[in-house]
Amino acid sequence: SRFETCWPALMKDSHGVIIIFNPELPSHLKEIEMWYSCFVQQQPLLDSQCLLVAHHKPGSAGDAENLSLAYPLNKLKLIHSNLEEDPEDVRMEFMKYFRSIVTLINESREREEMSIIS
């Protein structure tokens, strides 16, 4: 991709990765494996720092229940977004994810401070 040279700058000091994809495009299902590998595994970030969002376009038949991702993507938190039907649901999931990231950052900061003190 043309933007690969920018990736190191994007990744620097990142605490979380949100991957949004169209579950109806087979090419996207292959690409999210690459994004996960580059942005999560190689950093390395914890799986809990990654959120997958399967975005269903308005009017798409999108069968949310039938989306089964292969390992290692099936270990990640996956939410389905359909902004026509349940925008509030998606907002709640995002808030939960952001809270978990903030908690992780605070815990690692506390560990650093303790190691400096001791």
77 pairs with which residues across the strands? 51
Burial (0-12, 13-18, 19+ Cβ within 10 Å), 58: exposed
Regarding pTM above 0.85, the answer is no
pLDDT digits (tens, 9 = 90+) for 26-85: 888 889 999 999 999 988 899 999 999 999 887 776 555 678 888 999 999 999 988 777
